[in-house]
Amino acid sequence: MSLLKMAPPDKVSSLDELFAIAYAMEHEAAARYAELAEHVRAEGHPQLAQLFEQLAAEERSHEGSVVQWSQRHRGRTPDPAAIRWEIPETFDEEAAGELAASHLATAYRVLSMAVRNEERAFAFWTYIAAEAATPEVRQAAEQMAREELRHVALVRRARREAYHAERRAHPGIRKRTPAESLAEAAVLEARLAGRIEELAAQLADDTGVRAHDLAAQTRAMSAEAARLAPGDAGAVEDLDMLATAERLVEDYLDVGDLARDEKVVSEAQSLAKRAITRLAWLRALV
């Protein structure tokens, strides 16, 4: 559980407790982003303030969704009194503080922090689902994890747009073609499969089985990428396991945005979805 500073100290025993925890997490994130917006605006950074305000608004929207879900299933709004233990931090206060104080902060860096926060929330709900006290709590926690994974994809897309905006400000940097990105992805997928297999050999029980399955899926993704862009990828940078997994997410999302062939776009988007799920699982584990 490296994404979390500590694992949840106990199981979630009821839907009332789950909804209360979910509401508290979204409310806390919205409040923190709003505070950061106020701070950087006072420091004379209106564009970053607007970005933090957008993140706060998104978290308030998630908060409202939790309220509606609780009302549908329990007939009442979430009650903070249902929470029996301290919720592990999923909002990176240290990184947020550093960004707010930095004169070098960019939209890309802010959104990178937001991606990590969403991935921590995904890791939290994945853990809660695995340790759920009842089937209904497990199903609800799995739904929360899926929602957080959707949030990860949305924030990653915004981060990628910020990255491209920064690259446009430096036009001398050559951009890879979709075919080049896919050819490199095929190589990276094969390398990543080997690293996941090494990790699986060190794990036991269901986690080891899941890692072996993920390695097989990764080899299949390598073959898919190679079919989309046959040819030599040339020299491909050798990265560690997590860096490789993240690079693949960004590559597939880029191909989905830039390719003109509808089949390539569709398959790249499918690869991106699986790569995002894989990255979140690996980060929760390593």
Other CB atoms within 10 A of residue 47 CB: 10
- Is residue 35, in this structure, part of any structural domain at all? yes
Instruction: Report the alpha-carbon distance of residue 5 to residue 3 in Å, rounded.
Output: 7
Residues 31 and 56 in one domain: yes
Average pLDDT in the chain: 87
Let me know if residue 112 belongs to a domain.
Answer: yes
Choosing from 168, 190, 210, the residue where a domain stops is 168
Q: Are 221 and 273 in a shared domain?
A: yes
Structure-token match 């390593």, residue found: 286
How is residue 239 annotated by DSSP?
-
Same domain membership, residue 203 and residue 134: no
Tell me whether residue 222 is in a domain: yes
Q: What's the domain count of the chain?
A: 2
Domain shared by 34 and 102, yes or no: yes
The domain of 123 spans: 15-168
pTM of the model: 0.70
CATH of residue 228's domain is 1.20.1260
Q: What is the pLDDT of residue 64?
A: 95
CATH code where residue 19 lies: 1.20.1260.10
Residues 38 and 158 in one domain: yes
161 and 208 in a single domain? The answer is no
Task: Tell me whether residue 103 is in a domain.
Answer: yes
The DSSP result for 173-216, as a single string, is SPPPPHHHHHHHHHHHHHHHHHHHHHHHTT--HHHHHHHHHHHH
15-42 and 135-168 helices cross at what angle (nearest 10)? Answer: 20
pLDDT reported for residue 40: 84
- What number of helices (H) and strands (E) belong to the chain? 9, 0
User: Could you tell me if residue 261 is inside a domain?
Assistant: yes
Give domain status of residue 275, yes or no.
Answer: yes
> Do both 240 and 118 map to the same domain?
no
Q: Is 133 inside a domain boundary?
A: yes
CA 79 to CA 19: how far, in whole Å?
Answer: 8
Same domain, 100 and 222: no
Give tens-digit pLDDT for 252-280.
888 887 888 989 989 998 998 888 888 88
Q: Which residues of 103-142 are buried (b: 16+ CB within 10 A; e: fewer)?
A: eebbbbbbbbbbbbbbbbbbbbbbbbbeebeeeebbebbb
| Mean pLDDT across 138-161 | 87
- 22 with 163, same domain: the answer is yes
Of residues 152, 154, 175, the one with CA closest to residue 90: 152
Kindly state whether residues 161 and 182 are assigned to the same domain.
no
What average pLDDT does range 101-127 have in this prediction? 82
Tell which of 168, 193, 225 closes a domain. 168
Residue with tokens 């897309």: 157
Examine the fold and report which residue of 117, 147, 168 is the final residue of a domain before the chain moves on: 168
Distance CA 54, CA 228 (A): 36
- Do 35 and 118 sit in the same domain of this protein? yes
On whether both 159 and 230 belong to a single domain, the answer is no
Which tens digits make up the pLDDT trace of 164-198? 777 776 665 556 788 999 999 999 999 999 999 99
Alpha carbons 181 and 35: distance in angstroms, whole number: 39
Is the model more confident about 77 or about 6? 77
* Residue 3: inside a domain: no
